[in-house]
Chain A
Amino acid sequence: MEVRLEHLTKIFPSRDKKGSEVVAVNDFDFTIPEGKLIGLLGPSGCGKSTVLYMICGLEKPTSGKIYFGEDDVTDIPSEKRGVGLVFQNYALYPHLTVRQNITFPLENLKGEEKLTKEQRNQKALEAAKLVQIEGLMDRKPGEMSGGQQQRVAIARALVKMPKVLLMDEPLSNLDARLRLQTREEIRRIQKATGITTIFVTHDQEEAMSISDMIVVMKDGIFQQMDAPQKVYDDPVNLFVAKFLGTPAINVFEAEVNDKKLYIGEDMVMDKVNVKDGPVWCGIRPEGFILDEEGALHCSLTGVDVMGRDTSIVSTNPKMTGLNIRAIISAEDLKLTSKDSVRFNIKRNKTLLFDKETEARIYYD
């Protein structure tokens, strides 16, 4: 089911009399295509959960509309929307067994949809098989690991075959290894069922690795929506550029003068077709080429070997942040001096942003 948000806004009144109101979601207006897995990405407190809660009907929008396909569901109660929701802390009913947890949504069906006990157990078993917990049906949530509980929560959300599956930071309570594993699992389940899925996370790597498309938001405001690689290569502003990628993009205070890009005294790029003046210059870690004659002069701090990556850590007076990280392949690693290093930079890995608005400046 395609999900369309139309000028969706949520304003929370201030919690106390003095505080100001919170615009948790500000004028969201985009369409989530059918059958895709969408990663909703943003820092904590930016309004991701609120978006999800509005889509599933737990929160009422202050203004704007939500469409599932052609149907306006804005005023339709949660249970009639056909959505499944997976909570961050699973929210499994602690006093019920796995089977009872999964059949709970089915027991609430009324009228023509009503199922017999056998049908309910059959459906619960199917959902449990999908997430591979069919052997744990008689356990209580308290007797299971976090990863298993999360699977039960997914099974409970899937058992009614929802049109839209929503997941609110479903992996954040799992340890690192389990997180990777469950991430693959979610991808597999989504592919197998073809259910339109919105996956909320504050972890950019997580969003990048499993999503067909990612939506980046900040302080309740929509930033960008595109395929993960596209958002990484082609961010619309400095925030998105900084939020995606580990190690993060290296940002310099730079200046354009007569179509030449300067970082301090170093002319690092020419034929930069933008108007003169100061800019933010972001260079991805993989955008540096080690060169004895390179244009950009930096002071060498050290070399970090982390797994398959080798990164050169250096500093430059014009950088922002703590240091510059340049990822270099091992065979290119030839350092001639102990305390200085020079780079050339790759054009397609260098992004310019407006000094004031931080919006992307396109050159060429």
Chain B
Amino acid sequence: MTKSGVKREGIMGTLSGWLYLAPALAFLIFFMVYPLIDVFIYSFEEGYNSASQTYFGIGGYNYSYVLRDPYFLQAVKNTFILVIFTVPISTILALLISLALNSIEKLKKLFQTIYFLPYVTNTLAVGLVFMILFRKTPYTDGLINMMIKALGMTTVDFIEGPYWAKMLVLCVYVIWIVMPFKILILTSALASVNPVYYKAARIDGASKTRIFFKITLPMISPMIFYLVITGFIGAFKAYSDAVAIFGVDLNAAGMNTMVGYVYDMLYGDGGGYPSYASAAAIILFAIVLTITVINLIVSKKTAPKG
């Protein structure tokens, strides 16, 4: 084929590509990009009144209000703790479990089903179970506290007790919820590594740990990066998890998350402030965007080529 032929096909290819994409793109713009712009505009409209749909002026007041609101700061703190602990722990734990699963040929199928169960089970149902496990009531200590007692330590109320205990439950819960998906992705990533590389590495005399770090890990690293990026985004968006364990009044429990704050500003008891909610949402958006961009840059730099 001639050079110009290739070129023409290239242009036609791009054109028809966009054409195929058009319906999806239209939806995306209508339901994602337009609302985002709308929220952005809302966040700068000061003193917006939802009944009369009027506002006093344009400015950064909504941001300064939100950034000084102790509930928001608490939510930011909670969210960051959640992200910093759950993303690495769940990824590493999922990797370890996947490695174990991958090495037991016969149990692979069974384990995959068991670990996948939480994924298909409703978040709130799992939350309820967690609450029952961790809660301390006048009638019962809950299963976890009974175990703590059996070990001869003092019991804690994980649901309405000290902050660290509540945070611990939330982190454990989030890790538990996200694990199945990660295990699923990682077991299939591990299974897709061509066994011939392991054979070659054995002939080359590489130890088990060296094989893992020098061959397995680089080969599945695109999947790990995918999980870390989506994990960060998911953890920043955590809300229903906290509701499932601590109920709807998260501000009172001191366990609110950023998405929870946005929701409360809109529909909660003290709600009806779309401007504040918008400002908080834009702040969240900026944080998630920054972290995702950093993640992508790091993954581009380290990802294997070819």
Contacts and interface: CB of A to CB of B under 8 A. Distances in A.
B304 A94 contact: yes
B199 A91 contact: yes
Nearest to A79: B205
A50 B199 CA distance: 13
Contacts of A95: 218-219, 304-306
Contacts, number: 62
B214 A104 contact: yes
Given A78-B205, A104-B206, A91 B196 contact: yes
A50 to B, nearest CB: 13
A108 B202 CA distance: 10
A93 B206 contact: no
Interface in B193-217: 194, 196-197, 199-207, 210, 214-215
Given A56-B203, A58-B203, A105-B205, A93 B306 contact: no
B199 to A, nearest CB: 5
A56 B214 CA distance: 22
Interface in A81-119: 83-85, 87, 89, 91, 93-95, 104-105, 108-109
Interface string B117-143: 000000000000000000000000000
A151 to B, nearest CB: 16
Interface residues of A, number: 25
A222 B306 CA distance: 41
Given A94-B304, A94-B306, A108-B210, A87 B196 contact: yes
A185 to B, nearest CB: 21
Interface string A60-89: 000000000000000000111001110101
B215 A78 contact: no
A179 B201 CA distance: 26
Interface of chain A, helix or strand or loop or mixed? mixed
B203 A93 contact: no
Contacts of B203: 56-58, 78-79, 83-85, 105, 157
Interface stretch (A136-144, A204-212, A237-245): A136-144
A104 B197 CA distance: 12
B123 to A, nearest CB: 37
A87 B198 CA distance: 12
A89 B196 contact: yes
A284 interface: no
Given A89-B196, A108-B207, 19 more contacts: A57-B202, A58-B202, A78-B202, A79-B202, A79-B203, A84-B203, A85-B199, A91-B194, A93-B197, A94-B219, A95-B219, A104-B214, A105-B203, A108-B204, A108-B206, A108-B210, A109-B205, A142-B305, A143-B306
Interface of B: 194, 196-197, 199-207, 210, 214-215, 218-219, 304-306
For the complex of A and B, the 4 pairs showing the least CB-CB separation, nearest first, are A142-B306, A95-B304, A79-B205, A105-B204
20 contacts: A57-B203, A79-B203, A79-B206, A83-B203, A84-B203, A87-B200, A89-B196, A93-B214, A94-B219, A95-B218, A104-B201, A104-B204, A105-B203, A105-B205, A108-B206, A108-B207, A140-B305, A142-B306, A143-B306, A156-B204
Interface of A: 56-58, 78-80, 83-85, 87, 89, 91, 93-95, 104-105, 108-109, 140-143, 156-157
